[in-house]
Amino acid sequence: MTEYINEENKEMKVGDILRNARTTGRRKRELSTIAKQLCIREDFLQALEDGNYSLIPETVYILGFARNYAMELGLDPDEIVLKIKHELGLETGKHECENKQEEAESINCSLPETEKKDKAFNWKKAVKSIQKNWIWLMGAMIAVIIAVILLVFFLPDGSVNTSNVTENSVELSGGGESGSVKYNMQVRESFGTENAENAEVVLQAIQESWVKVEDRRGNTVFSRVLLPGDIYYVPSEDEYKATFGNAGGIDVWVEGKIIPKLGAEHTRVAGISMSASDLKKGSQQ
């Protein structure tokens, strides 16, 4: 079960809480072991424990890594993320961010009002810039028009060859069915591509989520934090089970069709059969 941060830990830094959870009690674990299991670089986890957040490139990764690290250690991920935001000076009122949107949006809504105004688009400056540089803009437009005309005349039949363009579609041939899957989000990165030809089940992250897939002997075949847009082709030749750190952030496609969510947002679920038949039965109940 997830442990909530007790009164004694409330005054502690996030790094101390994480380190104590990892190194005390009956389940003492090495940092390198957890890094391999979560597919997060060991130096990033060390940076979280040291409170040296500058070593992690972007704030959204700091919060995402911390959330998954906290879940792996049995801590409450929301409490850990909230404390990190406070340490980074990003904490805001609950009325602004209590809908728990993805971390990047949470960071945006925590900006001071004056900073938001500075980031607002200045139409007056834009108009003045256009008036000042209209000759260059006109030349650029003419160049674009000429380029389009040349493409139309020099390509065969005036058409663009799109045979090699693959946006969000992929062919699924497993289970005797095939179809072009139109994912709910632009594909960012694909994992398990060696299984793509026969995959009956495909996972896509629409929110940041840690995903672990094990075979029937309990061996981990995939463990990674998937970012929005990432997809994973689940092998089909064995009995696989999955654990989701954020079940509501994962779309599950079975033989080309999406099924209902396997859990709520920011909820960890484990032991889910990745068999196409089991998933279809579950979606019909």
The CATH number linked to 101 is 1.10.260
Residue 141 shares a structural domain with residue 227: no
Q: What is the mean pLDDT of the chain?
A: 78
- The answer to whether position 61 is within a domain reads yes
Tokens 């989701």: give the residue: 244
Mean pLDDT (whole number) for 272-279: 89
- The answer to whether position 5 is within a domain reads no
pLDDT of res. 117: 45
Mean pLDDT (whole number) for 193-212: 91
CB 231 within 8 A of CB 252: no
Domain count, the chain: 3
- Distance (Å, rounded) from C-alpha 266 to C-alpha 60? 16
- The answer to whether position 2 is within a domain reads no
- Distance (Å, rounded) from C-alpha 205 to C-alpha 247? 9
Residue 110 shares a structural domain with residue 137: no
pLDDT band at 5 (very low <50, low <70, confident <90, very high): low
Q: What is the pLDDT of residues 57-94, one digit of tens each?
A: 889 999 999 999 899 988 999 999 999 999 998 855 44
The helix (run of H) or strand (run of E) holding residue 88 is helix 77-88
**Residue 192: both structure tokens together:** 């398990």
Asked if pLDDT for residue 277 goes beyond 90, the answer is: no
Domain containing 197 equals: 171-284
pLDDT of res. 110: 37
- The answer to whether position 166 is within a domain reads no
CB 123 within 8 A of CB 50: no
Residue 18 shares a structural domain with residue 104: yes
Residue 39 shares a structural domain with residue 78: yes
Residue 50 shares a structural domain with residue 134: no
- The answer to whether position 56 is within a domain reads yes
pLDDT band at 136 (very low <50, low <70, confident <90, very high): confident
Q: What is the pLDDT of residues 152-167, one digit of tens each?
A: 776 555 444 444 434 4
pLDDT band at 7 (very low <50, low <70, confident <90, very high): low
Residue 264 shares a structural domain with residue 195: yes
| Helix, strand, coil share of the chain (percent; to 5) | 45, 15, 40
Residue 106 shares a structural domain with residue 28: yes
- The answer to whether position 95 is within a domain reads yes
The CB density around residue 114, as the number of other CB atoms within 10 Å, is 8
Residue 98 shares a structural domain with residue 196: no
